[in-house]
């Protein structure tokens, strides 16, 4: 594993707004997104405004504070001078998100003399060019490197596991390059916190299988990050092709509108070339030749790289180059190259949110099967919500709009506590729940466990079913469920029992115990 470096500019969204002149540097200001405040300057923080806070709460704390909506284009445009400053010290810089970059550090450290000296040079250069504070860190693996930049430190290979392990779950958000991917990560992290996990070391102890089985693609990303992998570069033994498209413009491109149109055409060509070969990218390299003879290039990370992803990155990048104000900055030649390509479906850890190329290919295959076998041939689950786990999901035909889609997000008071079982039986399995006395237990109308024979033992001791006996070591409940009294009434008492590494959800109805699902 190679030593990597990272540069991070704290509170870049609000810093970019100050550089753009949208807010005075002496005014309390913050930038907000879908989930509240994203960043705040020092004046706003002194008045109590913090990340994640709702806009209304921020206004109540500081009525005169200026709250600006997030503007990715502004952030990317103002980040370009910082990237040019980095180019003077580092050969290859990859943008994770505006305000955060990764780079291979070995060569730059050798030229500077040490990691500390390189960090000092970079910090000084950025301060001279952009007038803002920057932090530099070095480490092994994507997450360790990004977190090292937050601490302005150097993390050795031997310290990587312990360094990552003691970080809180929220530290994973530093690897989220967009607000959408940040939301996906936060949903998983909130669930892990409800399960009692607080540190990344505890998440690592869950293991790859548990994370990927439970959370799918996001679980793969979480595991790769906490395990210290380089998730921003795909590793594969076989050589894979690189695809590029190039256009020369006469007359040269001088406005952003012209560049957007040109980028759309090139992105379409590049996307069709990759999809037709069932490949997924990758790393997008944008190269522009200027009328004054200079050549500029910048690399962006993409997972698959939809046409919209490519167009957005190219538009932001070319817009920043065109707005530099230099004589002869008109673009005469534009080249897009996608590298780090893998067969679609092989790529295990996409860093970007949204639909990847492999997902797009799966969608096309599903539609093709439907055209051959009928609409009902492919079914997918969707959440409708219920107090009972077995009723929370229904199936529908692929691409069919679900019924009562909004009910899945209702609170459903009185429902069985989350998380639901990993495995739900199509038909509940008859079981016997025995107490220490050996008799089958029952649940009273008041929701209390008891033995109908009057024995003193009132706690479950053994779950007996067709798959064998499970000695119960822990249990939770019972929870009484009463619903639909007007039509097919349901009255049940649910328990969660655990033993021998297995968790089981059981319920009693009409004096009969049934197993509804299992947690492993």
pLDDT digits (tens, 9 = 90+) for 269-303: 776 666 655 555 567 788 888 887 788 877 776 65
* pLDDT on residue 345: 46
Is the model more confident about 459 or about 404?
459
Using CA atoms, how far apart are residues 255 and 267, in angstroms rounded to an integer? 18
Band the pLDDT of 8: cuts 50, 70, 90.
Answer: very high
* pLDDT on residue 354: 45
For residue 207, give Cα distances in angstroms to 144, 157, 162, 230, 253.
Answer: 18, 21, 16, 18, 51
Which residues, other chains included, contact 56 with Cβ-Cβ below 8 Å and sequence gap of 6+?
none
* pLDDT on residue 238: 37
Residue with tokens 């001088």, as numbered in its chain: 254
Residue pair 497/503 in contact (Cβ under 8 Å)? The answer is yes
Q: Could you give the angle at which helices 256-276 and 357-373 cross, rounded to 10 degrees?
A: 60
* pLDDT on residue 218: 81
Over residues 399-420, mean pLDDT: 60
* pLDDT on residue 347: 42
* pLDDT on residue 349: 41
Q: Which of 27-41, 100-114, 483-497 has the lowest mean pLDDT?
A: 483-497
Q: Are residues 428 and 496 in the same domain?
A: yes
DSSP H/E element including 463: strand 460-465
Over residues 89-108, mean pLDDT: 83
Closest of 275, 189, 185 to residue 221, by C-alpha = 185
Q: Is 97 within a domain?
A: no
* pLDDT on residue 365: 72
Task: Tell me: pLDDT of 67 over 60.
Answer: yes
* pLDDT on residue 377: 73
Over residues 190-217, mean pLDDT: 86
Q: Is 448 within a domain?
A: yes
Q: Is 220 within a domain?
A: yes
Q: Are residues 302 and 196 in the same domain?
A: no
Q: Are residues 470 and 510 in the same domain?
A: yes
Task: Tell me: pLDDT of 64 over 50.
Answer: yes
Q: Where are the beta strands (DSSP E) in 410-456?
A: 423-435, 442-443, 449-450
Band the pLDDT of 413: cuts 50, 70, 90.
Answer: low
Which residues, other chains included, contact 355 with Cβ-Cβ below 8 Å and sequence gap of 6+?
304, 306, 363
Q: Is 125 within a domain?
A: yes
Domain of 477? 423-518
* pLDDT on residue 136: 92
Q: What is the CATH number of the domain that holds 132?
A: 3.40.1170.60
Count of domains forming the chain:
5
Q: Distance between terminal CA atoms of the chain?
A: 34
Using CA atoms, how far apart are residues 363 and 440, in angstroms rounded to an integer? 50
3-state secondary structure 249-269: EEEEECCHHHHHHHHHHHHHH
Q: Where are the beta strands (DSSP E) in 229-325?
A: 243-253, 279-280, 283-290, 295-301
Over residues 323-331, mean pLDDT: 66
In the chain, the percentage of residues whose pLDDT exceeds 90 is 7
Q: Are residues 403 and 315 in the same domain?
A: no
Q: Are residues 185 and 69 in the same domain?
A: no
Q: Which of 70-74, 171-175, 288-292, 321-325 has the lowest mean pLDDT?
A: 321-325
Band the pLDDT of 177: cuts 50, 70, 90.
Answer: low
Q: Could you give the angle at which helices 217-226 and 142-151 cross, rounded to 10 degrees?
A: 60
* pLDDT on residue 276: 55
3-8, strands of its sheet edge to edge:
135-140, 3-8, 100-104, 93-97, 295-301, 283-290, 331-339, 243-253
* pLDDT on residue 371: 60
Q: Is 428 within a domain?
A: yes
Task: Tell me: pLDDT of 344 over 70.
Answer: no
Map residue 221 onto helix, strand or coil.
helix
- Token pair listed for 318: 């070319």
Band the pLDDT of 138: cuts 50, 70, 90.
Answer: very high
Using CA atoms, how far apart are residues 255 and 253, in angstroms rounded to an integer? 6
Q: Are residues 264 and 321 in the same domain?
A: yes
Q: Are residues 12 and 110 in the same domain?
A: yes
Mean pLDDT of the chain: 78
* pLDDT on residue 364: 65
Map residue 478 onto helix, strand or coil.
strand
* pLDDT on residue 350: 41
Q: Are residues 386 and 281 in the same domain?
A: no
Band the pLDDT of 146: cuts 50, 70, 90.
Answer: very high
DSSP per-residue string spanning 301-339: E-SS--HHHHHHHHHHHHHHHHTT--TT--EEEEEEEEE
Q: Is 370 within a domain?
A: no
Task: Tell me: pLDDT of 260 over 80.
Answer: no
Over residues 400-418, mean pLDDT: 59
* pLDDT on residue 307: 62
Q: Is 367 within a domain?
A: no
Band the pLDDT of 147: cuts 50, 70, 90.
Answer: very high
Task: Tell me: pLDDT of 322 over 80.
Answer: no
Q: Are residues 212 and 318 in the same domain?
A: no
Q: Are residues 109 and 167 in the same domain?
A: no
What backbone phi and psi angles, to 5 degrees, belong to 42? -65, -35
Task: Tell me: pLDDT of 483 over 90.
Answer: no
The pTM of this model reads 0.51
Is the model more confident about 34 or about 66?
66
Q: Are residues 248 and 336 in the same domain?
A: yes
Burial class (CB in 10 A: 0-12, 13-18, 19+), 306: buried
Map residue 77 onto helix, strand or coil.
helix
Q: Are residues 140 and 164 in the same domain?
A: no
Task: Tell me: pLDDT of 395 over 80.
Answer: no
Q: What is the CATH number of the domain that holds 254?
A: 3.30.1490.100
Band the pLDDT of 237: cuts 50, 70, 90.
Answer: very low
Q: Is 362 within a domain?
A: no
- Token pair listed for 205: 């102890």
């Amino acid at each position: 594993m190679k030593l990597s470096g990272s540069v991070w500019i704290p509170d870049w969204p609000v810093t970019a707004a100050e550089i753009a002149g949208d807010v005075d540097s002496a005014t309390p200001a913050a930038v907000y997104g879908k989930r509240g405040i994203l960043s705040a300057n020092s004046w706003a923080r002194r008045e109590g405004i913090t990340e994640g806070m709702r806009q209304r709460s921020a206004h109540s704390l500081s009525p005169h504070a200026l709250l600006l909506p997030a503007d990715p284009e502004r952030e990317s445009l103002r980040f370009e001078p910082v990237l040019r400053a980095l180019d003077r010290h580092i050969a290859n810089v990859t943008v994770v998100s505006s305000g955060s970059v990764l780079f291979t550090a070995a060569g730059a450290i050798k030229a500077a003399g040490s990691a500390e000296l390189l960090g000092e040079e970079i910090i000084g250069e950025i301060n001279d060019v952009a007038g803002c504070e920057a932090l530099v860190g070095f480490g092994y693996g994507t997450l360790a490197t990004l977190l090292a930049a937050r601490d302005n430190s150097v993390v050795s290979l031997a310290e990587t596991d312990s360094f990552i392990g003691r970080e809180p779950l929220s530290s994973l958000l530093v690897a989220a390059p967009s607000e959408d991917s940040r939301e996906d990560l936060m949903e998983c992290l909130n669930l892990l916190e409800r399960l009692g996990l607080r540190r990344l070391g505890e998440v690592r102890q869950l293991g790859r299988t548990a994370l990927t089985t439970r959370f799918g693609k996001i679980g793969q990303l979480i595991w790769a990050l906490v395990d210290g992998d380089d998730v921003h570069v795909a590793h594969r033994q076989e050589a894979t092709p690189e695809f590029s498209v190039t256009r020369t413009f006469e007359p040269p491109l001088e406005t952003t509108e012209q560049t957007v149109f040109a980028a759309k055409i090139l992105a379409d060509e590049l996307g069709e070339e990759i999809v037709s070969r069932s490949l997924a990218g990758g790393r997008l390299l944008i190269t522009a030749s200027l009328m004054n003879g200079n050549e500029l290039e910048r690399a962006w990370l993409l997972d698959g790289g939809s046409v919209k992803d490519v167009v957005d990155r190219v538009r932001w990048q070319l817009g920043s180059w065109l707005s530099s104000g230099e004589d002869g900055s008109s673009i005469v030649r534009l080249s897009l190259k996608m590298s780090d390509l893998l067969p679609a479906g092989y790529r295990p850890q996409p860093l970007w949110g949204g639909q990847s190329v492999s997902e797009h290919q799966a969608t096309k295959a599903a539609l093709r099967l439907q055209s051959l076998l009928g609409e009902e041939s492919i079914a997918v689950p969707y959440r409708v919500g219920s107090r009972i786990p077995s009723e929370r999901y229904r199936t529908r035909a692929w691409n069919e709009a679900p019924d009562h889609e909004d009910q899945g997000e209702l609170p459903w008071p009185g429902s069985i506590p989350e998380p639901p079982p990993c495995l739900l039986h199509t038909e509940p399995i008859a079981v016997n729940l025995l107490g220490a006395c050996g008799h089958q237990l029952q649940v009273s109308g008041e929701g209390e466990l008891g033995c109908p024979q009057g024995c003193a033992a009132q706690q479950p001791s053994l779950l007996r079913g067709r798959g064998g006996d499970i000695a119960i070591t822990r249990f939770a409940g019972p929870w009484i469920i009463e619903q639909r009294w007007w039509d097919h009434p349901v009255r049940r008492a649910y328990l969660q029992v655990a033993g021998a590494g297995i968790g089981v959800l059981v319920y009693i109805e009409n004096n009969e115990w049934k197993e509804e699902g299992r947690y492993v």
